[in-house]
């Protein structure tokens, strides 16, 4: 919805069976609803965020998406007011909304970590199957967890992209809609201690986001990732998004290719990979490490000789990654 002449507000809504639910609002007086929302703020509730768009005219307010739950409002000009775990549903230019979970530490966060899932991994996997969220919040970080489904973090969808994969978020959705929405809440501000990390295909996304928006990130961590599709022309995921390499070589060589964007890199990179990985072979990370070395970039490359492609390995890297992030501040 950005770029459609809307002024954005952020609202939190809470679960409370005692209070009569609000089902939906359509074009009700803006001052009236905002006054009501603010009047509810004296209560303490667990927050789940939705997005409200207020037209330039102060006479109307439209709530884009709201479950049967009462609401309290915060205007974005008030700054970063998130104090509890939060769920965002962000549309952007998509037909369906995308879930983004934000886990908050006690007190004001010292920084933010955007943690990306792999292909067809849940966004909750980082919290459920590793100790990343627990340890990162203990160290004072907010954790941002987008649901990416079967995305390979490409910048666009092509006519040749498999029809059943076209609905998943692109990296352009992340840069143009997700990140600005989160910045409206006071997180991921350039100059703050912000970091991006990912596992498997999410590592590819983390590296590419680090190149797309270099002013945001102070460090990048990539575990078991893939980075240069042109080196693997038979890969089914790449073929499913870009089409065959022999028909569309430019897409494979220049689109979403870390090797072609490396001059944009500003942040140090932590690379981790298991030598026994049979899903994403070690060669992918070796290519990235060689690229960073030849370009005189700051990086750490840790190969676990016994690890494969699973949460047991990714969990074993959590402390090393967080210490690497701490060292960049």
> Which CATH number characterizes residue 235's domain?
3.40.50.1820
**Residues 140 and 9 placed together within one structural domain of the fold:** no
How many CB atoms are located within 10 Å of the residue 236 CB?
9
pLDDT digits (tens, 9 = 90+) for 130-160: 999 999 999 999 999 999 999 999 999 999 9
Residue 296 per-residue DSSP state:
T
Task: Please tell me which residue, 84 or 3, carries the higher pLDDT value.
Answer: 84
Q: What are the beta bridge partners of residue 71?
A: 13
Q: Would residue 91 count as lying in a domain?
A: no
So what's the pLDDT on residue 132?
98
Question: Residue for token digits 């390979």?
Answer: 152
**Residues 128 and 216 placed together within one structural domain of the fold:** yes
**Residues 74 and 106 placed together within one structural domain of the fold:** no
**Residues 147 and 6 placed together within one structural domain of the fold:** no
Task: Please tell me which residue, 133 or 75, carries the higher pLDDT value.
Answer: 133
pLDDT digits (tens, 9 = 90+) for 192-249: 999 999 999 999 999 999 999 999 999 999 999 999 999 999 999 999 999 999 999 9
pLDDT digits (tens, 9 = 90+) for 22-63: 222 222 333 433 343 333 333 333 333 333 333 333 232 222
**Residues 146 and 206 placed together within one structural domain of the fold:** yes
**Residues 137 and 267 placed together within one structural domain of the fold:** yes
**Residues 165 and 264 placed together within one structural domain of the fold:** yes
pLDDT band, residue 295 (cuts 50/70/90): very high
So what's the pLDDT on residue 83?
83
**Residues 41 and 135 placed together within one structural domain of the fold:** no
Tell me the residue range of the domain where 139 lies. Answer: 102-327
Q: Would residue 93 count as lying in a domain?
A: no
Residue 100, pLDDT > 80, answer yes
Task: Please tell me which residue, 164 or 64, carries the higher pLDDT value.
Answer: 164
**Residues 273 and 312 placed together within one structural domain of the fold:** yes
Domain boundary among 23, 45, 78: 78
Q: Would residue 220 count as lying in a domain?
A: yes
Task: Please tell me which residue, 16 or 30, carries the higher pLDDT value.
Answer: 30
So what's the pLDDT on residue 210?
97
Q: How far is CA 320 from CA 105, 199, 207, 223, 324, in A?
A: 20, 14, 18, 11, 6
Q: Is the dihedral of CA 169, 131, 313, 129 positive or negative?
A: negative
Alpha helices, DSSP H, located in the chain:
30-39, 125-129, 132-138, 171-173, 179-184, 201-212, 236-242, 249-254, 258-261, 283-294, 311-316, 318-327
**Residues 62 and 132 placed together within one structural domain of the fold:** no
So what's the pLDDT on residue 191?
93
**Residues 128 and 193 placed together within one structural domain of the fold:** yes
**Residues 73 and 110 placed together within one structural domain of the fold:** no
Our count of domains for the chain comes to: 2
Q: Would residue 148 count as lying in a domain?
A: yes
User: Terminal CA-to-CA distance of the chain, rounded, Å?
Assistant: 34
């Amino acid at each position: 919805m950005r770029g459609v002449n809307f002024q954005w507000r952020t609202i939190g809504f809470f679960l409370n069976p005692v209070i009569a639910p609000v089902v939906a609002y359509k074009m009700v007086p803006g001052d009236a609803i905002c006054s009501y929302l603010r009047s509810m703020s004296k209560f303490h509730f667990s927050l789940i965020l939705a997005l409200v768009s207020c037209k330039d005219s102060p006479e109307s307010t439209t709530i884009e998406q709201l479950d049967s739950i009462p609401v309290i409002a915060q205007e974005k000009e008030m700054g970063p007011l998130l104090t509890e775990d939060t769920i965002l549903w962000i549309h952007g230019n998509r037909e369906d909304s995308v879930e983004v979970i934000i886990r908050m530490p006690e007190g004001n966060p010292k920084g933010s970590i955007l943690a990306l899932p792999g292909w067809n991994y849940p966004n909750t996997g980082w919290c459920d199957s590793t100790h990343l969220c627990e340890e990162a919040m203990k160290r004072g970080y907010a954790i941002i967890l987008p649901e990416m489904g079967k995305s390979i973090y490409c910048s666009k969808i092509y006519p040749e992209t498999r029809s059943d994969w076209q609905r998943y978020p692109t990296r352009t959705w992340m840069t143009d809609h997700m990140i600005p929405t989160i910045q409206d809440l006071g997180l991921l501000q350039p100059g703050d201690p912000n970091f991006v990390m990912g596992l498997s295909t999410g590592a590819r996304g983390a590296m590419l986001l680090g190149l797309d928006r270099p002013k945001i990130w102070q460090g990048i961590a990539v575990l078991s990732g893939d980075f240069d599709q042109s080196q693997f022309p038979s890969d089914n995921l790449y073929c499913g998004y870009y089409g065959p390499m022999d028909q569309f070589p430019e897409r494979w060589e220049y689109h979403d290719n870390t090797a072609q964007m490396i001059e944009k890199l500003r942040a140090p990179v932590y690379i981790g990979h298991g030598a026994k990985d049979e899903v994403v072979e070690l060669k992918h990370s070796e290519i990235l490490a060689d690229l960073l070395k030849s370009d005189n970039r700051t990086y750490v490359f840790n190969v676990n000789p016994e690890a494969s492609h699973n949460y047991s390995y990714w969990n074993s890297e959590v402390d090393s990654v967080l210490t690497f992030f701490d060292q960049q501040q």
